[in-house]
Amino acid sequence: MSKDVRKIKTERDIQQALLTLLNSKTFRQVTVADICQLSMTSRSTFYAHYLDKYDLLDKIVDGFTQLFENRVGLRFKQIINGETDNLLRGLAVDMADNRDALLTLFTVHEPNADLEANFRTLLLREWKRFIKESGGKMKVPEDLMASMGMNVQMTVIQWALSHGDGEIDDVAAAVDTIRKAILLQIQPED
């Protein structure tokens, strides 16, 4: 385990350096030397922590993916009586802390490191599970419903990240109203 503080600090610095560099360069344009220079770590130290820059990116993406996975799990568990009001807004708020990093990583799409794809996969899985557990038969395929939920969710998250926190509530409320209306249409009457 990473016990020594020095490891934590260097990994934090290295990861932050890559994120910063990604604001002005493509991931493929970034060199290990760039990362080391900006983070003020020696190359030998870099390779003591990561196999290469791809490994570094993987671990960063994995970290945020895990964080998101935890939050998604919590938020879905907090749903009461099928009321998903807080879900939409909640997840967007959860991610607000790492606004800069997430916005940057959403622009990176590498084979084994695609944060946006990971988010979509996680959301889709949870939506499918939620719909199935909700039990009610629907007039449209459950997968279609899950996909819709996932897409609406991602839209709100990305919108909230790009814009400030000011109008999140309004947007979430608006989108949620639309979604509810659709749900009412396709769900069978009680």
Distance CA 54, CA 31 (A): 11
With CB under 8 A as the contact rule, the residue among 1, 5, 80, 181 that binds its own copies is 5
Nearer CB in complex with its own copies: 11/126: 11
Indicate whether 21 belongs to the interface with DNA (CB under 7 A): no
- Give strand pairing partners of 83: 80
Distance CA 40, CA 172 (A): 42
Distance CA 150, CA 166 (A): 23
With CB under 7 A as the contact rule, the residue among 23, 25, 26, 43 that binds DNA is 43
Indicate whether 8 belongs to the interface with its own copies (CB under 8 A): yes
CB contact set of 111 (below 8 Å; sequence gap of 6+):
none
Which region among 40-48, 62-70, 127-135, 167-175 touches its own copies (by CB under 8 A)? 40-48
Distance CA 68, CA 161 (A): 14
Chosen from DNA, its own copies, none, partner binding at 28 (C-beta under 5 to 8 Å by type)? none
Among residues 29, 128, 113, 19, the alpha carbon closest in space to that of 72 is found at 128
For its own copies, how many residues bind (rule: CB under 8 A)?
6
For DNA, how many residues bind (rule: CB under 7 A)?
22
Which region among 40-48, 79-87, 133-141, 167-175 touches DNA (by CB under 7 A)? 40-48
Distance CA 22, CA 161 (A): 17
> Which positions from 41 to 80 touch its own copies by CB under 8 A, shown as an x/- string?
xx--------------------------------------
Nearer CB in complex with DNA: 42/78: 42
CB contact set of 156 (below 8 Å; sequence gap of 6+):
88, 89, 91, 92, 171, 172, 175
Which region among 16-24, 28-36, 106-114, 158-166 touches DNA (by CB under 7 A)? 28-36
Cβ count near 163 (within 10 Å): 11
Among positions 77-116, residues that touch its own copies (CB under 8 A) are none
Chain residues binding its own copies by CB under 8 A are 5, 8-9, 40-42
